Amino acid sequence: MSDHMKLYEVFLRSKRGLDHKHVGSLHAEDAQQALEYARDVYTRRSEGVSIWVVNSSDIVASQEDDCESFYDPHDDKPYRHATHYQLPDEVNNM
Amino acid sequence: MTRVLTEAELEEKFQARIDAEEKIEPKDWMPDKYRKNVLRQMSQHAHSEVIGMQPEGNWITRAPTLHRKCILLAKVQDEGGHGLYLYSAAETLGTSREEMNDALHDGRAKYASIFNYPTVTWADMGAIGWLVDGAAIVNQVSLQRTSYGPYSRGMVRICKEESFHQRQGYHIMMVLMRGSDEQKNMAQDALNRFWWPSMMMFGPHDTESAHTAQSMKWKIKRQTNDELRQKFVDQSVKQAEVIGLKIPDPDLKWNEERGHYDFGEIDWEEFKQVVNGNGLCNRQRMAHHIKAQEEGKWVRDAITAYEEKKRQRADQAAA
């Protein structure tokens, strides 16, 4: 069965104003069916007000192994953080 | 049977949703004027982030230490990133980035008038971080509660990243105020030049503001220009005092009854002049933005050409 059906990733917005969040995946023939299945299997308890489905094969992901080249350069930049700047107590809530 | 709702009914539902503090999301029905109003505000905000890179970029090569240079680079990089968040969020309203850019270039879209003032000394980097980013944060904290979902989420992200901007600026001022007389004068001079333009960042008085009433009703704005300006004054006075700076306003004084500082009147004629293109740097800012876009064209063309080549190779391999 799954040989014939595409894999879709499902994202739910739990409440207006919040980001869609990944909740899982499912198999479906097409996007419309994926939406209906997502409604059936991921929102049985009103978990969402909006559903996104995306073909899993369309997702391009970075690899754990890329971590060094992706993120290492940030470790020596503490000045990007507010706490790096020592200010007098009276105005430290800035 | 479902009946197609009339425009008035749709608008009533829309307003009810806003009154209930619910966010409006891109695919929701919204009145045309709401769409236009949010787009105007978001694109103006995005343009301000990007044009705002110029006055600070002016000092990257001349920062007094390597450390300050790293900080300034990181800050200017953040501003570019914030422009991106805002343009992307604005694009969910159905207007392309190119259209927004064109509107900026032909003057239909505005950006914050503060960025039309020149940055002539290193202390200006201090004044901008402390006051200009300080004023922007007052505004943006309030906008985290704006009714348009993508704008609100963008503001949350930006506010999180922005707090270092104000602190590094204040830190520059603090260090200068511990220095020589010349350095102290430089800091005071920067405050003198940037105080009033910072006050203008909140826009015209509520009674004069063309968009405030409708924007408040639709909760695009959550606090009025005058409310936000008052908040900015109240927080800045103490900050100036602590490091020995004097805010250049003879009418500035604590009002016990109101529980706020009273302050003098803004030179609205100057505000009008700068907004309408006659500030010291308006032409320079726009010319630079257009030049950067033109000079970057070959890079964008190269990316497209490379993609095309990759596609052709893939097609050949498949054939």
* Across A79-87, average pLDDT: 93
pLDDT of amino acid B319: 81
Task: Give a yes or no: residue A89 inside a domain.
Answer: no
Task: Extract the tokens encoding B315.
Answer: 């097609």
Interface confidence (ipTM) of the complex = 0.82
Mean pLDDT by 10 residues, chain B (319 residues): 84 96 94 96 97 96 96 96 96 95 95 97 98 96 96 95 94 98 98 98 91 91 96 97 98 97 97 95 97 95 96 91
Cβ(A8)–Cβ(A39) under 8 Å? no
pLDDT of amino acid B267: 97
Confidence of residue A62 (pLDDT cuts 50, 70, 90): confident
Residue A73 has pLDDT above 80, yes or no: no
Of A2 and B43, the one with more pLDDT: B43
Strand partners, B253: B262
Strand partners, A50: A13
- Tell the residue number behind the tokens 């107590």, with chain if given: A89
pLDDT of amino acid B212: 84
- The CATH number assigned to the domain holding A22 equals 3.10.20.520
Task: Give a yes or no: residue A35 inside a domain.
Answer: yes
pLDDT of amino acid A91: 93
Residue A2 has pLDDT above 60, yes or no: no
User: A10: distance to nearest CA of chain B, Å?
Assistant: 18
Confidence of residue A27 (pLDDT cuts 50, 70, 90): very high
Confidence of residue A3 (pLDDT cuts 50, 70, 90): low
Task: Give a yes or no: residue A90 inside a domain.
Answer: no
Task: Give a yes or no: residue A94 inside a domain.
Answer: no
Task: Extract the tokens encoding B108.
Answer: 């239909």
| Residues from B in contact with A at Cβ < 8 Å | 22-25, 67, 70-71, 74, 78, 134, 149, 152-153, 163-164, 166-168, 170-171, 174, 238-239, 242-243
User: B291: distance to nearest CA of chain A, Å?
Assistant: 29
Query: What is the C-alpha separation between B254 and B244, in angstroms, rounded?
Result: 18
* Closest Cβ opposite residue B149 in set A16, A81, A91: A16
Task: Give a yes or no: residue A86 inside a domain.
Answer: no
What's the total number of domains in chain A? 1
Tens digit of each residue's pLDDT (9 = 90 or more) over A6-23: 999 999 999 999 999 999
User: A64: distance to nearest CA of chain B, Å?
Assistant: 24
> Which residues in chain B have their CB less than 8 angstroms from residue A19's CB?
153
Task: Give a yes or no: residue A31 inside a domain.
Answer: yes
pLDDT of amino acid B173: 98
> Which residues in chain B have their CB less than 8 angstroms from residue A91's CB?
170, 238-239, 242
**Could you list the residue range(s) of the whole structural domain that residue A49 is in?**
2-80
Task: Give a yes or no: residue A61 inside a domain.
Answer: yes
Alpha-carbon distance values, B164 to A74, A87, B44, B235, B242 (Å): 15, 12, 23, 17, 19
How many residues are listed for chain B in this entry? Answer: 319
User: Using the beta-carbon criterion (under 8 Å), do A94 and B164 form an inter-chain contact?
Assistant: no
pLDDT of amino acid B106: 93
Task: Give a yes or no: residue A17 inside a domain.
Answer: yes
pLDDT of amino acid A1: 47
Q: What is the DSSP letter of B24?
A: B
Nearest-by-CA chain B residue for A87: B171
